[in-house]
Structure 1
Amino acid sequence: MTATFGPGPHTLLLDGEPIAPLAVAENYRDRRRGLLGTDAVDGALWITRCPSVHMIGMRYPIDAAVLDRDGVVLHVTTLRPWVGLTRPRLAASATLEAAAGQLDRWGVRPGRRLAIRRAADR
């Protein structure tokens, strides 16, 4: 059985333009779980109050973007299951996770700004 995460109810914006469906992990339980227990991700997961992530227990590679409090991308990397992790960065406030290769396809790179369009704001 394949467990796919997403798509979330919100929309991920890159420099103000919509690029993907988005789920947001805002409470402790959702932040701690992240993408664990899934085999794929549809869209992206924005993890609030999360300056770094690890891949212990993950089944597949993912892309991760470390963001400051304004959503400016500080660092982008592809992480492998069980061994990958992002280093905490001084200004980091959140981490965005997506399928491996997806952030490059969307044009997410350091210096660009990501934002959340909440489903209620549409």
Structure 2
Amino acid sequence: MEERIITIPYQINLANTFLKRFKGLMFRKNPISNEGLWIIPCNAVHMFFMKFPIDVVLLNEQNEVVEVHHMLEPWRITKPVKEAYSTLELPSGSAKTLGISIGCKIKCSI
């Protein structure tokens, strides 16, 4: 089977320090659009203090999608995913629009 690669067309910010991972997208007033946040390492997220839904894509160390949460609402959490190494947070609806599904490989610029 041919490997499916999805290129993310948004500006992706990297959260790879404790403080950046802790803050994430919390306390932002407006929904994100044309941008995302790549949290490394991360195998689960919480939506505490969020004001808008987002799409959450969990990736393994090879950037292959292992789980997708569409339009995750504020004040929700995801369960930890053992296979996940990092998490990509995208504007709500992006995963469906871009065709992101389990097994595809993600490519993005940071």
Shorter-chain TM-score: what band? 0.7 to 0.9
Give the TM-score taking structure 2 as reference length: 0.85
Give the TM-score taking structure 1 as reference length: 0.78
1:30 and 2:23 equivalent?
no
**1:22-48 deviations in whole A, cap 9, x for unaligned?**
111111100111101112213211100
- Which of the residues 53, 58, 83 maps onto 1:91? 83
Higher strand proportion (structure 1 or 2)? 1
Worse-superposed segment, 16-25 or 45-54: 16-25
Q: Could you tell me which residue of structure 2 aligns to residue 80 of structure 1?
A: 73
Matches for 1:98-117 after TM superposition, within 5 Å = 98-117=90-109
Q: Which segments of 5 or more consecutive residues in structure 1 lack a partner in the other structure? A: 1-13
Distance 1:37 1:111 in 2: 32
Q: Could you tell me which residue of structure 2 aligns to residue 5 of structure 1?
A: none
Distance 2:23 2:108 in 1: 20
| Offset, 1:105 | 0.6
Q: Given the superposition, is the C-alpha separation of residues 63 and 17 from structure 1 closer, same or farther in structure 2, using an over 3 Å criterion?
A: closer
Aligned residues of 1:67 and 1:73 also touching (Cα < 8 A): yes
- The residue type equivalent to 1:22 in the other structure is I
Distance 1:57 1:18 in 2: 26
Distance 1:116 1:18 in 2: 5
Please give the secondary structure, in 2, of the residue aligned with 1:92: coil
Distance 2:49 2:8 in 1: 31
- State how many pairs are aligned: 104
- The percent identity for this pair of structures is 29
Q: Which segments of 5 or more consecutive residues in structure 2 lack a partner in the other structure? A: none
Distance 1:17 1:94 in 2: 16
| Offset, 1:117 | 3.1
Q: Could you tell me which residue of structure 2 aligns to residue 40 of structure 1?
A: 31
Query: Higher relative CO (CA 8 A, sep ≥ 6), structure 1 or 2?
Result: 2
